[in-house]
Amino acid sequence: MEQFQSAYQEEKERLDRTLDEVEARLRELRSIPVYTGHDFTEQILESGREAQRQQLEKSVREPYFGRLDFEERGKEASPLYIGKVGVADADGRKPLIIDWRAPVASLFYSFTGGDSAAYEAPEGLIEGLVYLKRNIVIRKGILERVVDTFNKDSEGPAVSDEFLVYRLGENKDNRLRDIVSTIQAEQDLIIRAAKNTALIIQGVAGSGKTTVALHRLAFLLYQYKEQIKAERMVIFAPNHMFIDYISEVLPELGVGDIQQSTFGDWAARVLGLEEAPTDGADTLTRWFDRGEPNGERPDDEALPGRYKGALAFQAVLDRYLERIESGCVPDGDFEPWDGNRLPRETILQWFEGEYKHYPAARRKERVLARIHRWIEMELKKSPSPTALKERKKKAQQREKAYAKKWPELEAAALYKNLFLTFGGKKGDGSDGEIVSAIPAGIYKETRDYLKKGQVKDEDLAAMLYLHSRIQEIEGNLTFDHVVIDEAQDFSPFQVAVLDRFVKGHSFTILGDLSQGIHYYKGVRTWEEMQALFAPQETAYFALTRSYRSTMEIIEFANEILKKGVGTDLLAVPVFRSGEPVKLKPAVGEERLAAISEALDQVLAGTHRTVALLTRTMSEAEELHRDLMDQGRDVHLIDGDQRQYAGGISVLPVYLSKGLEFDAVLVTDVDRSRYGPQDARLLYVGCTRALHELWLMHGDQLPEYVPDKVSADV
């Protein structure tokens, strides 16, 4: 106790000194009049001052969150204070506060006990001893908590989880938060991994994948500030509500301007489509909403999403493009007027020889422009003004007609052509042979909807591929780094296409195969993704510790994984105990009353966010109506939302992916609703809960749901 008080006192004094200094600096900066003139150099200086002002304002509220006493070999031990933003001391020589992304700060995260410690610095490996690792909670400039997670002089465990458990026990509001004060060693490795590597991360539910990806973006921007720009980084997320849910982490880490998009929105922008095709209601209903267990599992090959996401489809497109390109130059010489001709040989030589380094659309443009110039030169040789006039008129018509004979080198048109015209009747001649590599059912289905002018989400990778092959990828469309969240729902072809837009294979690809509920697309193994890159360009990490839920919830969800999904990728809980998982009958006429009662009990606690997860969308709508009729303030989430409001939400379980709630009630957990193929779906639902999980069930629990948890409530 005495030791604790002296630690508190020591930190309080240190905080007062730090705040005095930071405030003095802020006053000084504020005293400089804001520059509003037109001098460019002055403007740059002013924007630098403004950024500093904003950083210092943040520092005044929460200057740092950690302290590490480190003795570098051959030097004196000194306490390092680590914060979200670095601040230099008054003469600018020594850091008063160290940015969490600085090399030395990595020790704060990677140190897990032992007699020596080391970190990688630009000048090489720095070795030394750690004496103290201390977590410090400061809110609005007031010291609230001091917790030592390592003390060389004490007899406690090497590095304790006490502070982490305290943080995880807090209730959550409607936004994901940063975790700078408690990043774990296994997460830090990913955050600080080198830029030009395609990182593939398998992480169990709640292992911090989304959070780690966001911190990695902030790290990359700090570490490679000369090479990369925030506007050239993107995070692909599954839907708009999820983007809203994660939107505060980056600004909180002092990083703005990073693009956040769905793959569909981005693809639509690049391709110039009016709107982004998504997994339409028909797809979602087919897979999730039939109100009965998902029994349908055709062969992978027969699933359009799987086929169109495979590299085999890319190979078909390659052959198709080869054929299109070799058939670009129309048959016959070009005759601007009778008696004059430009031989096809010459045109071919331009298209396939001189301009061969350009993509096809550019080559076509160049060749046509050159033909135009050739016509102008030829016209100059006209013997009389009358002849010139006549020739000019003829040439104009014929030039236009000739250009029309070229294929339209535009992605949407080319894609349509592949299914509607190319190869004539399927299977005819050598073009038909290319087309016949596409499974007949998929070919027909696609042909039918393309005819009606529709495009589906599953076609986007192919269309983007065609686009990137025939058109130049404009500089402003390339990325310095790409994050793909929920990557188990991405196809290898989607990633291969993205790779064409990314410099140096700089990817962070995160997902959880156990949460692959979009069976009709996505990957079955991470090797499918790894195979896209050379071994030295990619690295694989597995996150097995789960930080979101209590031990009780994780153990329960692990049972579902073991029995229902048959995987050994089980989650390891942090030692945080809570309420037992509750199993409550809610069926027939009693159903609504039982759900209401459970909800009342949950709300009697301190939870801020609660979700009721139904099996289908229509059930969510119905339950939402019923609860509204009871006068409750509940929000329905139906997939079209752009914002996540928090509070009490009702949603079908398949829309809950990526989100988390203090308490979760899953309704209608019954063998007739959750079949053997739906274990993943139920797993996703259960792992959304931080502190409390209730399963409202029918007469027969699915065989993979443990029934031996405390049911008395």
Ligand X SMILES: Nc1ncnc2c1ncn2[C@@H]1O[C@H](COP(=O)(O)OP(=O)(O)OP(=O)(O)O)[C@@H](O)[C@H]1O
Of the ranges 40-48, 180-188, 226-234, 324-332, which one interacts with ligand X (CB under 6 A)? 180-188
Does position 243 bind ligand X by CB under 6 A? Answer: no
Between 543 and 634, name the residue whose CB sits nearer to ligand X.
Answer: 543
Residue number with CB closer to ligand X (512 or 579): 512
User: According to the binding rule CB under 6 A, does residue 182 interact with ligand X?
Assistant: yes
If the CB atoms of residues 359 and 639 are measured against ligand X, the closer one turns out to be 639
How far apart (Å, rounded) are the C-alpha atoms in residues 563 and 667? 20
Nearer of residues 18 and 181 to ligand X, judged by Cβ:
181
Choose, by CB under 6 A, the member of 66, 208, 336, 573 that binds ligand X: 208
Q: Does 619 bind ligand X (CB under 6 A)?
A: no
Stretch that binds ligand X, among 4-12, 142-150, 161-169, 225-233 (CB under 6 A): 161-169
CA 368 to chain centre: 42
Token pair belonging to 343: 């031989």
Size of the site for ligand X (CB under 6 A): 24
* Residue 561 in the binding site for ligand X (CB under 6 A): no
Q: Are 123 and 116 in contact (CB under 8 A)?
A: no
> Applying CB under 6 A, which of residues 167, 319, 503, 563 lies at the interface with ligand X?
167
Own/partner contacts of 408-413, CB < 8 Å, gap of 24 or more, are 409/324, 409/328, 409/360, 409/361, 409/364, 409/470, 409/471, 410/361, 410/470, 411/271, 411/463, 411/464, 411/466, 411/467, 411/470, 411/471, 412/271, 412/273, 412/455, 412/463
- Segment near ligand X (CB under 6 A); pick from 34-42, 181-189, 297-305, 648-656: 181-189
| Single residue of 55, 135, 184, 260 touching ligand X by CB under 6 A | 184
DSSP character string of 622-690: HHHHHHHHTT--EEE--S--S----EEEEEEGGG-TT--EEEEEEEEE-TTTS-GGGHHHHHHHHTTEE
Choosing from 186, 244, 489, 660, the residue that interacts with ligand X (CB under 6 A) is 660
Q: Is 680 in the site for ligand X (CB under 6 A)?
A: no
Are 418 and 435 within 8 A, CB to CB? Answer: yes
Work out the number of other CB atoms within 10 angstroms of the CB of residue 225: 10
β-strands 78-83, 609-614 pairing: unpaired
What is the closest distance, in whole angstroms, from the C-beta atom of residue 656 to ligand X in the complex?
A: 9
**Rounded CA separation 56/83 (Å):** 11
Is residue 186 involved in binding ligand X (CB under 6 A)?
Answer: no
Binding residues for ATP: 203-210
Stretch that binds ligand X, among 179-187, 320-328, 359-367, 418-426 (CB under 6 A): 179-187
Task: Name the nearest CA neighbour of 557 among 691, 607, 549, 547.
Answer: 549
The two structure tokens encoding residue 203: 């992480």
Q: State which residue has the least CB distance to ligand X.
A: 208
Interface with ligand X, residue 205, by CB under 6 A: yes
Rg (CA), the chain: 31
Contact flag: residue 206 with ligand X (CB under 6 A):
yes
CA 375 to chain CA centroid, nearest Å: 52
Pick out the residues of the known binding site. Answer: 203-210
Distance, C-alpha 460 to centroid of its chain: 17
Q: Coil, helix or strand for 582?
A: strand
Angle (CA) 160 162 163, round 5°? 110
Per-residue x/- mask for ligand X, residues 507 to 546, rule CB under 6 A?
Answer: -----x--x-------------------------------
Interface with ligand X includes 119 (CB under 6 A)? no
Under rule CB under 6 A, residue 187 binds ligand X:
yes
Query: Interface with ligand X includes 183 (CB under 6 A)?
Result: yes
Closer to ligand X by Cβ: residue 205 or 234: 205
Of 211 and 283, the one with the shorter C-beta distance to ligand X is 211
The secondary structure of residue 502, as a DSSP letter, is B
Nearer CB in complex with ligand X: 209/518: 209
547 binds ligand X (CB under 6 A): yes
- CB-nearer residue toward ligand X: 99 or 660: 660
The residue written with tokens 């050739």 in the block is 374
Among 107, 687, 692, 702, binds ligand X (CB under 6 A): 687
Q: Single out the residue of 22, 168, 200, 693 in contact with ligand X (rule: CB under 6 A).
A: 168
Q: Tell me whether residue 18 or residue 508 sits nearer to ligand X (CB atom).
A: 508
- In the complex, the residues that contact ligand X under the rule CB under 6 A are 164, 167-168, 177, 179, 182-184, 187, 203, 205-211, 512, 515, 547-548, 658, 660, 687
